[in-house]
Amino acid sequence: MGVEEITMNLALIEGWSLIGQSKIARTFLFKDFKEALGFVNRIGEIAETEGHHPDIHLSWGKVQIELWTHAINGLSENDFILAAKIEDAFRADGR
């Protein structure tokens, strides 16, 4: 995926950032650990359905997500699709 295509796709998913030229990432904030853990579990369900699995970092009140396609060691359309679905899950909780 070229820089122009990455930039175009990144503009469609609010709050996500490009790391180098090979990953996208976002940090989600929550009121406590339990809420953050619930979100991680929802992401896990989405990832299983999609067959595409992010790196997830969980800490008190915070979930950090990194996405890239391991098979190509870079970004693919699937990364942006999964990011959008994660965004939808986050917003479904009224955020």
CATH number at residue 55: 3.30.1360.20
pLDDT, tens digit, for every residue of 45-80?
999 999 999 999 999 999 999 999 988 989 999 999
User: The domain containing residue 53 runs over which residues?
Assistant: 3-92
User: Burial letters for 24-34: b for 16+ Cβ neighbours within 10 Å, e otherwise?
Assistant: bbbebebeeee
Identify the H or E element spanning 92: helix 77-92
- Residue 77's CB is within 10 A of a number of other CB atoms, namely 11
Reduce the DSSP state of residue 16 to 3 states and report it: coil
What is the number of domains present in the chain? 1
pTM: 0.91
pLDDT, tens digit, for every residue of 25-40?
999 999 999 999 999 9
> Please, are residues 60 and 33 in contact by the beta-carbon 8 Å criterion?
yes
